Structure 1
Amino acid sequence: MKKIYYLSTCSTCKKIMDSLNLDGFELQDIKSDPITKEQLKEMKELSGSYEALFSRRAKLYQEKGLKNVDLQEKDFEQYILEHYTFLKRPVIISNDEIFIGSSPKTKAALQEKFGK
């Protein structure tokens, strides 16, 4: 399976995706087509945890005061399913590999594997 979970209004997602050869990838804009519990479970199995998929940069993270809460795996799962901004983006899945977010390390790995 080759799939990208992204946000069409996110300039960082756009930059990353524009720099890659994405032939054969299915695209899913998580704002207009929210991720399902099953899709999130699949991402968790590839990444090892829900926490790895959770974005602490989300405005709602600050607004809800979550930095002062001891979040557990079930909490990360619940928040990601509750609102798309809690998913680190983009999430790129290529068969049994997963690339999460926009860190320099992730971007370098994506360029090495899918660069134009």
Structure 2
Amino acid sequence: MKKVYHLSSCNTCQKILKELNLPDSFEIQDIKEEEITKEQLEEMEALAGSYEALFSRRARLYRERELNKKELSEADYKELILDHYTFLKRPVIINNDEIFIGNSKKTVAAAKAAVHG
């Protein structure tokens, strides 16, 4: 599978997609327009190793809901991501059996090398 989960209203995601210059073989899903399914999230978790790895603590709702004051379990991370798209650390790039999560320079460089390598 070659897929990207992103948010079209996120300038950082747009910049990264432009930089990656993905081949047409990649499916691109705007997670605000097309919600992540339980199956899709489970596929991401299988590659990432945990739901926590996919979870964004930068989401505005993280502090609004005072989640920063709670001990969250893997089940909590999964439910929160399914509950609201902003809890997914973006972008998530899947290149066959590799997954790249987030927007750090190192992650983006690794994704670019994997996609065009």
Compare 2-11 and 101-110 and name the one that shifted more. Answer: 101-110
Post-superposition Cα deviations, 1:75-106, rounded to whole Å, max 9, x if no partner, equal: 00000000000000000001000000001220
Q: Which residue of 1 aligns with 2:22?
A: 22
Q: For residue 2 of structure 2, what is the aligned residue in structure 1?
A: 2
Deviation of 1:110 after TM superposition, in Å, equals 2.0
- Distance, in Å, in 2 between the alignment partners of 1:63 and 1:88 is 17
Letter of the 1:44 partner, please give it: E
- Preserved CA contact (<8 Å) 2:91 2:101: yes
Over 6 Å off, 4+ runs: none
Q: Number of residues paired by the alignment?
A: 115
Which stretches in structure 1 are left out of the alignment for 5+ residues? Answer: none
Percent identity over the alignment is 63
Q: How large is the Cα RMSD of the aligned pairs?
A: 0.9
56-65 or 15-24, which deviates more? 15-24
Supply the distance in 2 between the matched residues of 1:109 and 1:84 (Cα, whole angstroms). 24
Match in the other structure for 1:106: 107
TM-score by length of 1: 0.96
Distance 2:22 2:98 in 1: 15
State the TM-score, normalizing by the size of structure 2: 0.95
